[in-house]
Amino acid sequence: MGLDYGAGNGLMASSLRGRGWVYDAYDPFGTSRLSEELHGRYNLCTAFEVFEHLPDPVEGMAAILRMCSPEKLAIVIGTLTSDGEVANGGPLSWWYAGPRNGHISLFSKAALGRLAERFGLAYVSFGSSTHYFTRGWTATEVALMAFGGKARRLVLRR
């Protein structure tokens, strides 16, 4: 059962439901379509282009976890990491940063790892833009999710 957190107009969740997935949408400023019976049971959560807009990413992760299963869980966050893009003491000239695009929180992979640790989650990333926060999954299973299109198996049909 999946949840798109920060879903905007709900298009992604709607598209996935149209393909047979059990997928809900939540956005505090946009569309929310949540099934009461699934609250606390979502075992896959996506949050693409969300965390860089949050003034408090720790509370954002806590909010996701309040909606999701306390057991086996995968959270997929899409945000670029600043590794190699931002230097201490230098000017901030990275195109991804800046108030004009609403990106007010920036992350290194180390920072995302600390965020995962704070909530007892494992963290793995296979690049600079897609990050997996998991509980109950092995590193091999996460790699299969990322590279083998296996996320569909996470979502149970009703």
Model confidence over 23-74: pLDDT tens digits? 999 998 888 889 888 889 999 999 999 999 999 999 999 999 999 999 999 9
Mean pLDDT within 98-109 = 87
In the predicted structure, residue 128 carries a pLDDT above the cut 60: yes
pLDDT > 70: percent of the chain: 93
Count of domains in the chain? Answer: 1
Q: Which domain holds residue 131?
A: 2-154
Q: What is the pTM of this model?
A: 0.88
In whole angstroms, what is the distance from residue 99 CA to residue 88 CA?
A: 19
Read off the CATH number of the domain in which 131 is found: 3.40.50.150
In whole angstroms, what is the distance from residue 41 CA to residue 85 CA?
A: 37
Mean residue pLDDT of the chain comes to: 89
Confidence of residue 150 (pLDDT cuts 50, 70, 90): very low
Place of tokens 């897609």: 130
Confidence of residue 140 (pLDDT cuts 50, 70, 90): confident
Confidence of residue 109 (pLDDT cuts 50, 70, 90): very high
How do beta strands 130-135 and 73-78 pair?
antiparallel
CA distances (Å), 26 to each of 42, 45, 114, in order?
A: 12, 10, 25
